[in-house]
Chain A
Amino acid sequence: MKKATGFLFVFMAFTLIVKAQQGLEPGDKAVNFNLLNIDGEYVSLQDYQDQQGVVVIFTCNHCPYAQAWEQRIIDIHHEFSPKGFPVVAINPNDSSIVQADSYSAMQKRADDKNYPFVYLLDARQNIFPAYGATKTPHVYLLEMDKDEFYVRYVGAIDNNYKNPEKVTKTYLADAINSLINGEPVKTESTKAIGCSIKVAKD
């Protein structure tokens, strides 16, 4: 009996570890963060309590895929921020690996491209793994429900990084519109090619 309990405990611990590595999935409660914005202020998920939700996008300066989708991220913010779904961009990369993703480079890019949203640095690199982000860009759409944020959609912005005019599925916009209309999100997760997140070497 003892053995069985021990085994069960080990099994449960293992399950928890596996779960932790996978990060957040649709339906999960979001993980809070408090990260430095390019304006020198810290921004927390809790600061968005008065919104309908938050469009968390792990993205960065250097990645060609992030660059290809950049204008569409700006457009998403312009369209949905007034409807209660602002974009929160988070750069998960370590600048010792990619100089182009340093804090000062983030400030410069946000300035050059006139980012209308906050652009935060995951300096301790502990927020992206808590979400389970593996690449840039990687979207987590959160919805506020009874004072808590829940994940409602994970994945890509749309189905054509290369050409906005050839997009046939606007995954993220569709998901936000579903939430605005009080409907369940039809496609809760998608995949897209992206740049692996650059982690500091020991």
Chain B
Amino acid sequence: MKSAAGLIIIILFSVINSKAQDIKTVNFDDIETVFYKTDDTVRVINFWATWCIPCVEEMPYFTKAEQQYSDKKVKFIYVSLDFPRYLETKVIPFVKKHNMNGRLFLLDDPDANQWISQVDSRWSGALPATVVYRREQKTFKEGGITYKELNEFIKQKL
């Protein structure tokens, strides 16, 4: 019985661990196609950072939406703009604590003038920013988002 519990703990731990290891450090070219998918999935893409207060405040809304739409064709993608040196000490612990299940990237591409407008022409570059899209249907929000807004953006595209 004891060993079974131990085994479960080990499995749980390795699941959490493997998730954390999936945070890829990328430049914009690596993830550009994420913004132009033509399948019927709704994609929710959130730009955030652990040091950004409104990003931290809104993160529970995203994880709540993950739960709510877990049986729908909705994918969550989190793009961290934390400095790469904080990946292990700040980003991974934050992701674990908030139980973020979507795909995770750390965008290390300082020449932001080259890619901000490719995300959305309306984006000034302020964090946080959120894109919700399905094919040509797209909503963009710069600054903190409410759960109501996020839910509405997703629902209208399903």
Residues of A within 8 A of B (CB): 64, 97-98, 134-135, 138, 155-156, 159-163, 166, 168-169, 171, 190-198
Interface flags for B47-68 (1: CB within 8 Å of A; 0: not) read 0010111100000000000000
> Is residue B1 within 8 Å, beta carbon to beta carbon, of the partner chain?
no
Known contacts A159-B113, A162-B110, A163-B110; A191 and B124 CB within 8 A of each other? yes
Q: Which residues of A contact B123 (CB under 8 A)?
A: 191
Residue-wise, chain B 120-144 has the 8 Å CB interface mask toward A (1 for contact) of: 0001111110000000000000111
CB of B106 closer than 8 Å to a CB of A? no
Chain B residue numbers with a CB within 8 Å of A161 are 110, 112
**With A134-B124, A135-B125, A162-B83: A195-B110 Cβ-Cβ less than 8 Å:** no
Closest to A197 in B: B126
Most buried by A among B111, B114, B127: B111
Bound form: Cα–Cα A79–B132 in Å: 44
- Which 3 A-B pairs give the minimum distances between C-beta atoms? A135-B126, A196-B126, A191-B116
Contacts A159-B110, A159-B114, A196-B54 supplied; 17 other A-B pairs, CB < 8 Å: A134-B126, A135-B124, A135-B126, A156-B113, A159-B112, A160-B110, A160-B111, A163-B110, A169-B111, A191-B116, A191-B124, A192-B112, A192-B116, A192-B125, A193-B116, A195-B127, A198-B53
B146 at the interface (CB under 8 A from A): no
- Report which B residues bind A (CB closer than 8 A): 49, 51-54, 81, 83, 110-114, 116-117, 123-128, 142-144
How many residue pairs bridge A and B at CB < 8 Å? 70
Interface of A is mostly: loop
**How far, in whole Å, are A196 and B54 apart by their CA atoms in the complex?**
8
Chain B residues whose CB sits within 8 angstroms of the CB of A64 once the complex forms? 49, 51, 83
Contact in complex: B126, A155 (CB < 8 Å): no
With both chains docked as a complex, state the minimum distance between the C-beta of A193 and any C-beta of chain B, in angstroms: 5
Q: Kindly list chain A residues whose C-beta atoms are within 8 Å of the C-beta of B51.
A: 64
CA distance A97 to B54 in the complex (A): 10
Q: Are A190 and B113 in contact (CB under 8 A)?
A: yes
A196 and B127 form a contact (CB under 8 A): yes
Chain A residues lying within 8 Å of B83, measured Cβ to Cβ, are: 64, 162
**Nearest neighbor of A199 in chain B, beta-carbon distance:** B143
* Measured CA separation A171–B114 after assembly (Å): 13
Q: Which residue among B49, B117, B123, B124 has the maximum number of chain A CB atoms within 10 Å of its CB?
A: B124
Query: Contact: B53 with A191, CB < 8 Å?
Result: no
Taking the nearest CB of chain A, how far is it from the CB of B127, in angstroms? 6
Across-interface contacts of B111 in A (CB, < 8 A): 159-160, 168-169
**Does A192 contact B128, Cβ atoms closer than 8 Å?**
no
